[in-house]
């Protein structure tokens, strides 16, 4: 996944927040705070080849990506979850996870930028 193609569409968050910028910023902060832990759990599960934990960890990450409007990454997490639930194609899970590690670095940077834009609007 090309990092320039990572699209963050906050329209769903904006709708849920009823345009409340303070709430939107809070949700972005929660995402930025919690997601690294979820990714760490996923990494541990992959390292231990624990199919159930891989599926559970990917499942936890998936809706937060949807909430932030990051559909391409959400689809990749759904693929990891599905493969883990079926207990198949472990190599693909590892490949997708490794790609996602880089993608998440970009996501965190872009979300921080979006947050700063929102804060600038709020002043």
Write down all domains in the chain, each with its CATH number in brackets.
3-117 (1.20.120.160)
Look at residue 7 in the predicted model and tell me its pLDDT: 87
Burial 31-49 (b: 16+ CB within 10 A, else e): beeebeebbebbeebbeee
Helix 90-122 vs helix 71-86: angle between axes, to the nearest 10 degrees? 150
Instruction: Record the tokens describing residue 80, joined without a space.
Output: 């990891």
- The per-residue pLDDT for range 41-57, each reduced to its tens digit, is 999 999 999 999 999 99
Tell me how far apart the alpha carbons of residues 60 and 93 are, in angstroms, rounded to a whole number: 16
pTM: predicted TM-score of the whole model, two decimal places = 0.88
- The per-residue pLDDT for range 60-114, each reduced to its tens digit, is 999 999 999 999 999 999 999 999 999 999 999 999 999 999 899 999 999 999 9
Tell me how far apart the alpha carbons of residues 101 and 73 are, in angstroms, rounded to a whole number: 11
Banded model confidence at residue 3, pLDDT cuts 50, 70, 90: low
Tell me how far apart the alpha carbons of residues 80 and 95 are, in angstroms, rounded to a whole number: 10
pLDDT at 1 exceeding the cut of 90:
no
Chain centroid to CA 10: how far?
13
- The per-residue pLDDT for range 4-50, each reduced to its tens digit, is 678 899 999 999 999 899 999 999 999 999 999 999 999 999 999 99
């Amino acid at each position: 996944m090309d990092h320039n193609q990572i699209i963050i569409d906050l329209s769903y968050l904006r709708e849920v927040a009823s345009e409340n910028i303070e709430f939107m910023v809070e949700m972005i902060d929660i995402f930025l705070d919690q997601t690294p832990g979820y990714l760490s759990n996923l990494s541990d599960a992959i390292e231990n080849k624990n199919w159930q934990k891989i599926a559970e960890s990917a499942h936890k990450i998936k809706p937060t990506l949807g909430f932030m409007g990051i559909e391409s990454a959400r689809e990749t997490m759904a693929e990891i979850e599905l493969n883990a639930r079926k207990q198949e194609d472990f190599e693909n899970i590892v490949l997708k996870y490794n790609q996602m590690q880089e993608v998440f670095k970009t996501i965190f940077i872009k979300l921080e930028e979006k947050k700063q834009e929102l804060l600038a609007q709020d002043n």
